[in-house]
């Protein structure tokens, strides 16, 4: 409405003619349609989920009075309805994203509902992980048959939950690598989505869900040599950072690039945790003399992730002739050196602090270079958090601590002020020139 008024004003003032005014309106109308579609899809999915929950509640009314057979039949009703709606969608509405996503979301929840209700009706023994495995495997074909991205996202949540049950929470925890196979099965849909619909919201959600799922699940590999998981995690963050810099993803806005954010923030958080001496003290007490730790899942994961991150880094930098390499790119490799030093020496914590300091300063420099407030403040945040962390294990006088905080606060203010001022100067530059002319 505001735009329409502006166009009318410009037309009345003679700045634009009738033809241009119509073209502007047409352009914005065509641009508005995807967001409206997005709303229809979102409400379609939410509607399907609410209808599903409503059906379950209605069917389970007077649940206690039902016989075992009746309860079992009730458990299957939402599943059959979901399948029927998906069948209708496939036959009559296959081009409608709203129908495909809504019916698929309903079906996926109905599968889980049916499995859990049957298990509940019969008090079937065993852990929740076998039910989750069955649920995710039965939901997997829905992704491909219905071409449903919501199902893919629900599937990613499901397999992450399964990995946690199998690897962290379950009492029957054992070596379990099923998660990695399940993750691979979802990747073809993700790649297809990136290729066909690279800028859609669904793709952006996948850019967040996939790295997050991997970050959560990597820890399930930890067994005897848990300390090595720190190398594995640091290399994972290095790898995610490299993936986030692949041209296709690097072109995206930062808020749509989960790889880059997780890679960078993950590295910083892990370094902050390791900037305390406690971990390194524990590491020095460990006996890594035998070679058997080389074959543990933790070291295999660490080696594979490090090599993958290095390979991506080399590939990316070869194309750009090593001109754009950022020191942050190398953090995961530097960390391995620090880890090796930390096995013998107490200098590791100091080196991690130094690394964080460099990382913070270089991030601020990068932010200033790009004229990006977010990156500058992220760098400042790294430095501030580092200082706060050091307050815990360093005996500094309270006045000095206060002064340091004042300095950091002043640093925040001054940097942002300078950047804002520079930006204003740049934006005023051409206008001044026009006035002078």
Backbone φ and ψ for 93, nearest 5 degrees, come out as -130, 35
CB nearer to other proteins: pick between 63 and 413? 63
| Closest approach of other proteins to the CB of residue 121, in Å | 8
Cβ atoms of residues 236 and 219 within 8 Å: no
Binding-site string for other proteins from residue 138 to residue 157, where x marks contact by CB under 8 A and - marks none: x--xx-xx-x----------
Looking at 34, 54, 87, 429, which residue binds other proteins (CB under 8 A)? 87
Comparing CB distances to other proteins, the nearer of 134 and 354 is: 134
Q: Name which of 119 and 256 has its Cβ closer to other proteins.
A: 119
CB of 146 to other proteins, least distance (A): 8
| CB nearer other proteins, residue 54 or residue 141 | 141
Query: Please, are residues 302 and 231 in contact by the beta-carbon 8 Å criterion?
Result: yes
Among positions 346-375, residues that touch other proteins (CB under 8 A) are: none
Q: What six digits make up the tokens of 153?
A: 């996202």
Over its C-alpha atoms, the chain yields an Rg (Å, rounded) of: 28
* Residue with Cβ nearer other proteins (134 or 204): 134
Per-residue mark of binding to other proteins, 100-139 (x: CB under 8 A): -------x---x--xx--xxx-xxxxxx------x---x-
Strands (E), 220-325: none
- How does DSSP classify residue 167? I
153 with 209: CB under 8 angstroms? yes
CA dihedral 255, 257, 259, 264 (to 10 degrees): -50
Q: Using CA atoms in the order 281, 285, 290, 293, what is the torsion angle rounded to 10 degrees?
A: -50
Spell out, one character per residue from 160 to 199, where the chain touches other proteins: x when CB under 8 A holds, - when not: -----------xxxx-------------------------
Cα distance between residue 351 and residue 355, in whole Å: 6
96 near other proteins (CB under 8 A): no
Closest separation in Å from C-beta 124 to other proteins: 6
d(CA 268, CA 260): 12
- The footprint of other proteins on this chain (CB under 8 A) covers a number of residues equal to 36
- Taking the C-alpha atoms of residue 434 and residue 55, their distance in angstroms, rounded to an integer, is 67
Whether the CB-CB separation of 312 and 239 falls below 8 Å is answered with: yes
First to last CA, the chain: 36
What is the nearest approach in angstroms of other proteins to the Cβ of residue 212? 21
Residue 251 contacts residue 198 (beta carbons within 8 Å): no
Taking CA atoms, 157 is separated from 162, 223, 228, in Å, by 9, 24, 26
Tokens at residue 234, please? 């640091």
Window contacting other proteins (CB under 8 A); options: 41-49, 84-92, 95-103, 365-373: 84-92
By beta-carbon proximity to other proteins, the closer residue of 83 and 317 is 83
Closest to other proteins by CB, 145 vs 343, is 145
Task: Please choose, out of 5-13, 87-95, 311-319, 383-391, the segment that lies near other proteins by the rule CB under 8 A.
Answer: 87-95
Q: How far is the CB of 101 from other proteins (least distance, A)?
A: 16
Sign of CA dihedral 240, 244, 247, 248: positive
Residues 20-79 that bind other proteins (CB under 8 A): 63-64, 72, 75-76, 79
Nearer to other proteins, 76 or 180 (CB): 76
CB within 8 A of 75, min separation 6: which ones?
113, 114, 117, 118, 121
We find the least distance from the C-beta atom of residue 152 to other proteins, in angstroms, to be: 15
- Report, in Å, the least distance between residue 166 CB and other proteins: 12
Q: Would you tell me which residues interact with other proteins (CB under 8 A)?
A: 63-64, 72, 75-76, 79-80, 83, 86-87, 90, 94, 107, 111, 114-115, 118-120, 122-127, 134, 138, 141-142, 144-145, 147, 171-174
């Amino acid at each position: 409405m505001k735009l329409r008024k502006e166009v009318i004003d410009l037309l009345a003032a003679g700045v634009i003619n009738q033809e241009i005014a119509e073209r502007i309106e047409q352009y914005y109308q065509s641009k508005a349609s995807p967001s409206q579609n997005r709303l229809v899809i979102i409400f379609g999915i939410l509607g399907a989920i609410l209808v599903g929950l409503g059906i379950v509640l209605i069917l389970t009314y007077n649940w206690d009075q039902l016989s075992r057979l009746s309860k079992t039949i009730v458990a299957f009703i939402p599943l059959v309805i979901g399948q029927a709606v998906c069948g209708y969608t496939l036959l009559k509405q296959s081009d409608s994203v709203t129908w495909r996503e809504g019916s698929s979301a309903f079906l996926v929840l109905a599968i889980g509902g049916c499995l859990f209700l049957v298990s509940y009706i019969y008090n079937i023994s065993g852990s929740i992980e076998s039910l989750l495995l069955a649920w995710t495997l039965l939901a997997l074909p829905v992704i491909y048959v219905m071409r449903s991205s919501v199902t893919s996202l629900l599937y990613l949540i499901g397999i992450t939950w399964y990995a946690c049950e199998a690897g962290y929470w379950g009492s029957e925890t054992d070596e379990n690598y099923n998660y990695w196979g399940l993750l691979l099965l979802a990747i073809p849909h993700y790649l297809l989505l990136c290729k066909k619909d690279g800028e859609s919201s669904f793709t952006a959600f996948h850019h967040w869900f996939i790295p997050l799922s991997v970050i959560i699940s990597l820890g399930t590999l930890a067994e005897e040599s848990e300390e090595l998981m720190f190398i594995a995690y640091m290399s994972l963050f290095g790898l995610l950072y490299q993936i986030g810099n692949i041209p296709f993803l690097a072109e995206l806005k930062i808020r749509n690039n989960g790889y880059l954010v997780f890679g960078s923030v993950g590295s910083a958080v892990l370094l902050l945790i390791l900037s305390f001496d406690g971990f390194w003290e524990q590491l020095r007490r460990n006996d890594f003399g035998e070679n058997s730790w080389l074959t543990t899942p933790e070291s295999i994961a660490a080696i594979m992730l490090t090599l993958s991150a290095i390979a991506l880094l080399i590939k990316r930098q070869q194309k750009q002739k090593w001109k754009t390499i950022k020191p942050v790119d190398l953090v995961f490799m530097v960390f391995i050196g620090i880890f090796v030093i930390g096995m013998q020496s107490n200098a590791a914590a100091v080196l991690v602090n130094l690394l964080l300091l460099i990382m913070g300063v270089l991030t601020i420099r990068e932010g200033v270079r790009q004229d990006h407030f977010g990156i500058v403040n992220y760098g400042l945040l790294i430095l501030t958090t580092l200082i706060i962390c050091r307050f815990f294990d360093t005996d500094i006088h309270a006045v000095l601590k206060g002064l340091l905080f004042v300095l950091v606060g002043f640093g925040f203010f001054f940097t942002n002020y300078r950047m804002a001022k520079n930006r204003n100067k740049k934006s005023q530059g051409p206008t001044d020139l026009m006035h002078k002319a």
